Chains A and B, each alone.
Chain A
Amino acid sequence: MNYKMVGQIIAPIMAVEAVFMLPPFVISLFDRDSRTAVAFLLTIAIIMAVAAVLWLWCRKAQKLFQAREGLVCVALGWIVVSLFGCLPFIFSGQIPNFIDALFEIVSGFSTTGASILQDVESLSRGILYWRSFSHWLGGMGILVFVLAVLPATGRGGYGMHLLRAESPGPEVGKLVPRMKQTAMILYLLYILFTLLNFLFLLFGRMPWFESICTAFGTAGTGGFSIKNNGMAGYSPYLQNVTTIFMILFGVNFNIYYMLMLRHFRSVLKNEELRLYIIVIVCSILFITLNIRGYYASLAETVRHAAFQVSSVITTTGFATTNFDQWPSFSKTVMLFLMFIGACAGSTGGGFKCGRLLLLLKTLRRNIRKVLHPQMVQVVRANGQVIDEKILDGTSSYLAAYVIIFIFSFILVSLDGFSITSNFSAVLACLNNIGPGLEAVGPTQNYASFGVISKLVLIANMLIGRLEIFPILALFSRSTWSHR
C-alpha cells in the first residue's frame, strides 16, 4: 500500500470540500445567521489545516499506483469527506448528535436522501444548502470532480483506477483519451442539466433557494427535501418537471455524450436504456391500474404513479404522496424498483439496469448450456461480445450484495421494528433511495433507529454508492500488507 500517494489524492479532495463550503458560509452571512456562519468557517479552517498537514507529509510519494490504491483512495476519500462534512451540523447545534449528523451527511453524499430530522423546515438556510449540495457533489462523484479540476498529473494512468472505483456500473470507460477531459465533459454535462432543471423550476414560480436545493437533490438523484411534506406541496407542473429530470439523471451520461457527437443510432440501440425505459413505462402502467380510485382524477393518478416510480427507480427518493398507503401489489412493484436502480454511469444508485441485463443474459446462456453442453455461446450487449471477466464480476457483485443485505437486515432487526420496515430500510439505504415502507415510509424518518442500526445503515449507504468493493477492500488484509 502506497500510503503517501493515497494521502496526495485525499488532500485535494478535502480542499475541494472546503471550497464548496464557502457558498453556504456566504448564504449564512447573508442571512445574518452568525452561528451557522461560524460553524462553516470553523469547519473550513479545520479541513484546510488537516489537508495542509497531510499534503506536506505526503509530498514525496512513490508513483506506484494500482487498483488497490484506487479502491482505498475512493473509500477513504468518501469517509474523510463525510466525517468533515458533518461538522457544520454539529458546530451549528442543529444536529448536535455526532451519529445523527454523520448519518445525515453520508445520506447526502451517497445521494440516499434518508433523513433523521423530524422537522426539516427548522434548519437554517446555510445548512439546508449544504445538505442538498452534498447530493449534487456525491451524485457525479467527488474524485471525478478532483480529476476534472486538478492538473493532469505526470505519467501514470491512475485516474482510471479512481474512475473505475467511484463510478457506478459493471464496465467503466473513458469518453476521450484524457482522463481530465473525460471528467470535465461529465461535469459540464452534469452542470448543464442541473442548470436546466433549476431554470424549469424557477419558471414554475418555485422560490430560487428552493429551486437550487431541489435541482441539487434531483441532479444527484438524492432526495433530501427542504419541506416537511416533501414535494407534495408543489404544483403539478413542478412535480412533472422533477419527474422528467429524475428520469434524465438516471440515464448513463455516456448516452448524452453520444448524443452530443450525433451518434443517434447507437443511442437508440442501447439495450440498457431500452430496459430502463421499458421498466419505467410498465411500472407506471401497472401502478396506475392498481391504484385507480385512490386519487380524484386519472391525470392525478398517473402523475403520482409516474413521480413515485421515477423517484424510486432513479433512487432519488422524493415523494408527492405516501406510497406506503398504496395496495400491496403497488408496494411490491416499488420494492422491486428499489432493487433495480438506475442505469450504470448515471448519478443514480441501486443494482443498475445494466447489471440486471447482463445477469439475465448470462442466466439465459447458462440455461441453454444445460440443454446443449457442447454449444459455444457468448453474451452480447449492444451488439458487442461481453468479456467473461465482466460477467463473473457481475455475478460476484450480486453475491456480495445479497450477503451484505442479509447481514445488515439481521443487525437492524435488533431494534424491534416490523420486518417490512427493517427490510425496506436496509434496501432503501443500500440502494441509496431514502424512504422505504412503514416505519421508514415517505412521511416518516430514520430518527427512531438505535445507534447500531444507524451505523449499519451509514455503512450500507456508502457501500451502495461506491458499489461494495472499495469499502470491502478496506477490510481486506491484503490491501494493507506490503507488496
Chain B
Amino acid sequence: MKILIAGDGKVGAALTRQLSAEGYDLMLIDSNKQVLESSQEKFDIMAVCGNCASMEVLLEAGVLDADLLIAATGADEVNLLCCLTAHGINPNIHTIARIRNPEYNKQLYLMRDIFALSFTINPEKQAAVEIERLLKFPGFLKRELFAKGRVELVELEVDAGSKLRDVSLNDLDDVVHCKVLVCAVLRNGNAIIPDGRFVLREGDRVFVTAPTNTLAVLLKNLGIITRKVSSVMLVGGGRISFYLANLLQKSGIAVQIIEKDEERCLELAGLLPSTHVIHGDASNLAILESEGISDRDAIVTLTGMDELNIFISLYGKSCGVPQIITKLGRMDNLDILRSLPIGSIISPKELCCDTIVQYVRAMQNQTGAAISLHSIADGQAEAIEFQVDETTRHRGEPLKHIKLRNNVLIAAISRDSNTEIPNGDSVFDKGDTVIVVTSSKQVIYQLNDIFA
C-alpha cells in the first residue's frame, strides 16, 4: 500500500518510523530539504521537497496511485487544502488531516463531509481526553481503554514499598485478590511478555489488564489509596490545557491554569468561565508556591518546553503532589526520563501516531481488522483489540489447546457485558472482543495472525 505523508515534523517522523517498519511504501513531502534528507537516511522511504498543497508536488509524489494521504503539517489550512487537492486529483485516495485549532473543533464532522476527509485527528484533544482519564484513577501511570470501556490496560510501577515486589505471577491472585493479568513488564528498558514463573522486582513497570469495575479493588488491595482528585493545576495554557480544563470543569474539578502570556490568559479566562487563570511564568517557582502547588491533588505540566515540564514535575514531586502528569513532545530519551519521578508521561505525538497506524491497518485489512491499537511499554509492545468473527480459527477451543506465536498473549476476552481475564480453560467465540498483547517486532494485522 502506498502512503503519502505531508509534513515531516514530529508526528510525520513518528509515523514514518512506524509505517515504514510495517512495510508500507512511504513518500514524504515537506518543504524543508534537510529534514527530508535525514529521514531518507534513517528510513526506507522516498521524499519530495515542496509545498504539499500544490498539485505539481502531489503529482510528483505519486498521488495518482497512492492509497492514503496523511496531512500533518503545522498549519490546519494547509492540511485541508492538501487533502482537498489530492482528493481532486485522485478521488479514490483516503485522506487524513490533522486539525488542531480549537476554533474548528465544533465543525469537524461537517468539515469531514465538505472536504471529503476520511478522518481527522486532533492530537491535543486526544491528549486532553487521555489525561482526564488518568486523573480519574490516580495511581496508574497510564490507562488504555478497550471493548467500549469495559476492559482497561493500566501501567503500574513496582516501587520499594509496593506489595507486588518480589511476587511471582503465579501468586499474584493471593496478593491482589481479584482477577487481573500481567501482560507485559518493562524492565531496564526492555519489554518482556512474562509467563507464570516471572517474578516482579523493584523498578519494574507492569502492564495489567483488568475489567474496568475491578480497578478500584485492585488499587485498594495494592495499598494505593484512591482519593478523588478535586483540584488540579495545569502549567502552560496551550491547546491541551484548554481542552482539558473544559473536560475537568464538567466533572466539577477545580482547575487552575498558569500561563505566562497575558493575552492568552485573557483569552482563556473568556473561554473557561469557572477556571482560575493565573498570569505568571511557571519557571519561577515562587509563583507555583504562592498558588499553592502543595495543596493540589494533581499537577499537569503542559508547556511547550519539555525541559521545563520535567523540571516543574520534579518540583511538584518534591512538594508532595500525589499525582503528576508530564507532557513531552519528544520521546527520544525515554530510558533516562523513566528514572526521574515525573509521574505519567503523555505524548500527543505518540497518541496521534497510534490512531493513524490503527486506521492504516484497518485499511490494509478490511475484514477482521483491529478495532483499536495501543502501543505500550515505550512502544516495544502493542495491545490490539479484535472482534472474533466466523473466519477466526480455534473458536470454542480452550486456550490451553491453542498454540500461539511467541511473545503473543491473550490479555482479555470480553463477551456482552462480561469481561473475562482468561486462563487455560477460557474460550472465545463469535462476537467476542479479544485483546491481544504482542511485542512490537511482529506485526499482527488480524486475529488469525496470532496463532502459531
Contact = CB atoms under 8 A, between A and B. Distances in A.
A157 B41 contact: yes
B21 A177 contact: no
A463 B345 CA distance: 52
B20 A174 contact: no
Contact of A155 (B2, B17, B25, B46): B17
Contact of A178 (B33, B42, B44): B44
A416 interface: no
A159 B41 contact: no
Contacts of A181: 25
Contact of A154 (B21, B26, B40): B21
A173 B27 CA distance: 13
A160 B41 contact: yes
B378 to A, nearest CB: 15
B346 to A, nearest CB: 24
B335 to A, nearest CB: 15
B46 A176 contact: yes
Contacts of A343: none
A371 B428 CA distance: 82
Contacts of A152: 23, 44
A179 interface: yes
Majority DSSP secondary structure for residues of B touching A = mixed
Interface in A160-179: 160-161, 173-174, 176-179
Nearest to B46: A177
B311 interface: no
Given A154-B21, A155-B21, A177 B27 contact: yes
B45 interface: yes
A161 B25 contact: no
Interface in B1-37: 2, 17, 20-21, 23, 25-27, 33
B26 A177 contact: yes
Interface string B36-73: 00001111111000000000000000000000000000
Contacts of B21: 154-155
A399 B281 CA distance: 57
A156 interface: yes
Contacts of A177: 2, 25-27, 44-46
Given A155-B17, A155-B20, A176-B46, A160 B25 contact: no
Interface in A124-172: 152, 154-157, 159-161
Contacts of B26: 177
B31 to A, nearest CB: 14
Contacts of B40: 157, 160
A179 B25 contact: no
B46 A156 contact: no
A160 B44 CA distance: 7
A152 to B, nearest CB: 7
A159 B44 contact: yes
B25 A157 contact: no
A249 to B, nearest CB: 26
Contacts of B45: 157, 177
Interface of B: 2, 17, 20-21, 23, 25-27, 33, 40-46
Interface of A: 66-67, 152, 154-157, 159-161, 173-174, 176-179, 181, 387
8 contacts: A152-B23, A152-B44, A156-B44, A157-B42, A173-B46, A176-B25, A177-B25, A387-B33
Given A160-B40, A177-B26, 19 more contacts: A66-B41, A152-B23, A155-B17, A155-B20, A155-B21, A156-B43, A156-B44, A157-B42, A157-B43, A157-B44, A159-B44, A160-B44, A174-B46, A176-B46, A177-B2, A177-B27, A177-B44, A177-B46, A178-B25
Closest A-B pairs by Cβ, 7 of them = A177-B25, A177-B46, A157-B43, A157-B44, A155-B21, A179-B44, A177-B26
